[in-house]
Structure 1
Amino acid sequence: MATLQQLEQLAAQLRQPKGAGGIDVANMMNENNIGMTYHSINRLELHEGQKVLELGHGNGGHINYLLNQADRLQYTGLEMSELMMEEARKINRQWVENRQAAFFLYDGDQTSFNDNSFDKVFTVNTIYFWKNPVALLNEINRITAEGGWFNITFAQKAFMQTLPFVKFGFELYDTKKVAELVTKTAWKIANTGSETETVKTKTGELVEREFTTITLAK
């Protein structure tokens, strides 16, 4: 059984991967969260030539899947972890060289993009770590084009609260809590979809995880 110190270290790596341990955690996250990530991408309904932004891309193991959804897509990824930005650039070197993918660091609150820069935005399993959720949602609204979407994908609170490491810096959400958060912003909820999948937890157990993608429209 993991000690409290080990659980706290795991929580810190999940929030912002660093060092050799961070690469291992990122690989595990990509494997365990791929179903959630594909769910979020599929619900973007991407079309030719659209510009896509992702918050918290991790090691970017899913970007090949995204960029094959339609022709001439442009992907931009934002990360708080310098290690993950570097890993994503390595894994997606060909897309970067073709100028279809670009990766940048940000502080979790503000971006340097112009108004109306992106057609579609998505994020998977980052909402638990948002320091200023209303401000971030409004910032993403600013840089999303009129008629654009923002998909927020997260594991439901009922599942998350069974995990021992979430006591260390995680803010847990259910659909109702996210909906209440959205009412404080410029967004409107357009769609909600949930699924349940069997996954291995960060501590090794197989469990049923319910997750949800909420689509916000501008």
Structure 2
Amino acid sequence: MKELSEAEIRELAGQLRSPQGEQGIDVGQKMHETNINMTMAGVDALKLVKGDILLEIGHGNASHVKQTLNRDHGLHYAGLDISETMHEEARRINSALIDRGHASFHLYGGETFPFPDNLFHKIMTVNTIYFWDRPSAILEEAHRVLKPEGLLSIVFAQKSFMEELPFVEYGFRLYDNNDIERLVEQTLFEIIHTQTVTEQVESKDGSQVERTFTTITLKG
């Protein structure tokens, strides 16, 4: 892949935050392919059971939802995203699940969730925390809509990996485990499990890289 110009890197950063248009559709599919192991790590951390209502913050194109529901029958999935393009793609890709009442997708402005209190048994979010303008406010909203003793899994690539990527200087806030622990201390959540994995993936700029990511599981 050719070396990206500064303008192209800036554009890629914007698309990773909120995919838009035809390019956004392509970026959304690429994110699905490169992040599927992270997504499934977030699912596994929640130990889903029949009857759970699951919320995902920042679902992307949601190509993983069928796989998620097939692994744990009897679930209902709700997806939340700031990107209208990803909202439309998710609804297109998962139209059969929507028609059967197994999945729903919702747009939001990036902070206030359009759900009542104590609705969800489990919540997950993968590769979104870098873009939260007010992280503690997002966690407060997650706690509000989560049932008592519910679980939240946060999956993120480690700061040591992310800071090597050219696009992260444009609107990304990077984290390591200590950063997450300090953030959680400001909330009503408690950390109950942490797992770190290293894998070989293709970066968003086309290069092969070794990525270290962590799944942190919180209890409400």
TM-score, length basis structure 2: 0.98
Q: What is the deviation of 1:70?
A: 2.0
Which amino acid letter does the alignment assign opposite residue 171 of structure 2?
G
Q: What is the deviation of 1:69?
A: 2.4
Q: Match of 2:213?
A: 211
- What is the CA deviation profile of residues 72-113 of structure 1, one whole-angstrom value per residue up to 9, with x for unaligned ones? 100000000011011001111110000110000011111121
> Which residues of 2 match residues 1-218 of structure 1 at below 5 A?
1-218=3-220
Count of matched residue positions in the alignment of Structure 1 and Structure 2 = 218
Is contact 1:36–1:153 with CA below 8 Å preserved after alignment?
Answer: yes
Write the distance in 2 (CA, Å) between the matches of 1:213 and 1:26: 21
Write the distance in 1 (CA, Å) between the matches of 2:21 and 2:83: 10
Write the distance in 2 (CA, Å) between the matches of 1:159 and 1:21: 25
Q: What is the deviation of 1:42?
A: 1.1
Write the distance in 1 (CA, Å) between the matches of 2:182 and 2:134: 15
Which amino acid letter does the alignment assign opposite residue 137 of structure 1?
L
Which amino acid letter does the alignment assign opposite residue 111 of structure 1?
F
- What is the CA deviation profile of residues 38-86 of structure 1, one whole-angstrom value per residue up to 9, with x for unaligned ones? 1111111100010000000000010011111222100000000011011
Write the distance in 2 (CA, Å) between the matches of 1:24 and 1:112: 27
Write the distance in 1 (CA, Å) between the matches of 2:211 and 2:136: 26
Write the distance in 2 (CA, Å) between the matches of 1:141 and 1:203: 35
- What is the CA deviation profile of residues 167-210 of structure 1, one whole-angstrom value per residue up to 9, with x for unaligned ones? 00000000110110000011100111110000001111111100
Is contact 1:121–1:149 with CA below 8 Å preserved after alignment?
Answer: yes
Give runs of ≥4 in structure 1 deviating > 2 Å: none
Write the distance in 2 (CA, Å) between the matches of 1:95 and 1:49: 16
Which amino acid letter does the alignment assign opposite residue 198 of structure 2?
T
Write the distance in 2 (CA, Å) between the matches of 1:111 and 1:41: 20
* Unmatched 5+ stretches in structure 2: none
- What is the CA deviation profile of residues 103-139 of structure 1, one whole-angstrom value per residue up to 9, with x for unaligned ones? 0001111112111100000000000000111011011
Counterpart secondary structure, 1:85: helix
Which amino acid letter does the alignment assign opposite residue 15 of structure 1?
R
Write the distance in 1 (CA, Å) between the matches of 2:205 and 2:113: 34
Which amino acid letter does the alignment assign opposite residue 204 of structure 1?
G
What is the Cα-based RMSD across aligned positions, in Å?
0.6
* Unmatched 5+ stretches in structure 1: none
Write the distance in 2 (CA, Å) between the matches of 1:124 and 1:193: 14
- What is the CA deviation profile of residues 1-57 of structure 1, one whole-angstrom value per residue up to 9, with x for unaligned ones? 111100000000000000110001001100010110011111111000100000000
TM-score, length basis structure 1: 0.99
Is contact 1:46–1:69 with CA below 8 Å preserved after alignment?
Answer: no
